[in-house]
């Protein structure tokens, strides 16, 4: 339950943010609308900046008020618990989506959909992003998670990342200094806010051929994954020397259910929302299948999906 002081600080925060131009503010906004799983409670305050200056100001004001915001990209790797997020959620997708190309570097704001980054690169004959075709996140989320597929990952092409420091200043960090690992990065470990990034790609390709390769990768994905159902992609990381999907399928997890959440019958490492699932259904199902794999194979799977907020 909100205390009197938290009500005051939420009101004060909303008032201060409202004075900054380039920010849309919503109170008690259901976060299920902003995540691909479609589960979870509301954000006490949701701020959607449309310029990098507005994002810097949000970070500066939040630091001043000792508020630790939750940053949301496109919400495709995120479970928001049913009690929602008390305090501030900053949504990067939809507002910060500018993309430009300088020589063989694609420069995009954190909220730019990875799909648009891929298409822009292809139009300019720049290759190297085929692995990202069909990953439904934003560029910022991809950098935080070091998103990847089919042997490629965003780390491979990251030239630099602009991050917002707690005082609102922007600092440029070279990709080589970001200690990227499998679904891991220094950006995530250090809780940095991604504002913009430059991706160095391979020039000299033919736009049509690159488009064709992107479409091919998408088709392959559609054949293997339940892309038409609400989910957050792979629930678990790949354990050393094996695949989470293989272990889950062999343990008999496919089709297991809690409430309206079910393990996909198409890909065992996907949990899907059958319609009307709660975050607690999804989280209980994750725990159940994790336990099942541990009991069957002695392997403790590690979640890839991020969780934020409070229980109902």
Q: Shortest CA distance to 131 belongs to which of 255, 34, 245, 214?
A: 214
How many whole angstroms separate alpha carbon 82 and alpha carbon 168?
Answer: 31
Q: Is 138 a catalytic residue?
A: no
Token pair of 265 as six digits = 């019958």
Task: Name which position in 38, 137, 175, 309 contacts ligand FAD (CB under 6 A).
Answer: 137
How many whole angstroms separate alpha carbon 269 and alpha carbon 292?
Answer: 13
Angle at 125 (CA atoms; ends 122, 130), nearest 5 degrees:
45
Expressed in percent and rounded to 5, the helix, strand and coil fractions of the chain are 35, 25, 40
77 binds ligand FAD (CB under 6 A): yes
**Residue 15 vs 219, nearer CB to ligand FAD:** 219
Site for ligand FAD in 270-309 (CB under 6 A): 306
Interface with ligand FAD (CB under 6 A), residue total 32
Contact assessment for residue 40 and residue 80, using Cβ atoms and an 8 Å cutoff? yes
Q: Shortest CA distance to 199 belongs to which of 132, 136, 254, 262?
A: 132
Site string for ligand FAD, 142-181 (x = CB under 6 A): x-xx-xxx--------------------------------
Which residues are CB-contacts of 184 (< 8 A; sequence separation ≥ 6)? 146
DSSP letter assigned to residue 184: B
**Residue 55 vs 251, nearer CB to ligand FAD:** 55
**Residue 125 vs 152, nearer CB to ligand FAD:** 152
Q: Is 26 a catalytic residue?
A: no
Q: Which stretch binds ligand FAD (CB under 6 A): 17-25, 130-138, 251-259, 281-289?
A: 130-138
Site for ligand FAD in 35-54 (CB under 6 A): 36
How many whole angstroms separate alpha carbon 186 and alpha carbon 254?
Answer: 34
Q: Which stretch binds ligand FAD (CB under 6 A): 10-18, 73-81, 99-107, 235-243?
A: 73-81
Site for ligand FAD in 231-250 (CB under 6 A): 231-233
Which helix or strand (DSSP H or E) is residue 79 part of?
strand 78-80
Q: Is 304 a catalytic residue?
A: yes
Task: List residues near ligand FAD by CB under 6 A.
Answer: 36, 70-78, 92, 110, 135-138, 140-142, 144-145, 147-149, 193-194, 225, 227, 231-233, 306
- Catalytic positions, written as ranges: 183, 234, 304
């Amino acid at each position: 339950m909100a205390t009197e002081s938290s009500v005051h600080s939420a009101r004060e925060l909303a008032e201060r943010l409202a004075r900054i131009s380039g920010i849309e503010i919503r109170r008690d906004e259901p976060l299920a609308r902003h995540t691909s799983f479609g589960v979870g409670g509301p954000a006490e305050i949701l701020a959607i900046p449309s310029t990098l200056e507005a994002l810097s100001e949000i970070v500066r004001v939040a630091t001043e008020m000792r508020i630790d915001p939750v940053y949301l990209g496109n919400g495709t790797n995120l479970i928001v618990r049913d009690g929602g997020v008390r305090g501030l959620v900053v949504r990067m997708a939809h507002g910060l989506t500018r993309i430009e190309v300088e020589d063989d570097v694609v420069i995009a704001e954190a909220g730019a959909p990875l799909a648009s980054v891929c298409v822009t690169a292809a139009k300019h004959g720049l290759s190297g992003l085929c692995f990202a075709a069909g990953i439904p996140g934003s560029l910022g989320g991809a950098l935080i998670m070091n998103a990847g597929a089919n042997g490629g990952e965003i780390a491979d092409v990251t030239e630099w990342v602009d991050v917002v420091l707690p005082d609102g200043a922007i600092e440029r960090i070279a990709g080589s200094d970001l200690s990227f690992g499998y679904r891991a990065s220094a950006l995530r470990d250090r809780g940095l806010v991604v504002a913009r990034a430059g991706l160095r790609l391979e020039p000299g390709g033919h736009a049509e051929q690159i488009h064709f390769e992107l479409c091919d990768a998408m088709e392959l994905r559609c054949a293997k994954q339940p892309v038409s159902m609400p989910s957050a992609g792979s629930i678990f990381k790949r354990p050393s020397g094996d695949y989470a999907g293989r272990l889950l399928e062999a343990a008999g997890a496919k089709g297991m259910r809690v409430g309206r959440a079910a393990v996909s019958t198409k890909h065992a490492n996907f949990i899907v929302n059958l319609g009307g699932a709660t975050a607690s259904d999804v989280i209980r199902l994750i725990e159940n299948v994790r336990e099942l794999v541990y009991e069957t194979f002695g392997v403790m799977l590690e979640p890839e999906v991020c969780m934020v907020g409070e229980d109902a």
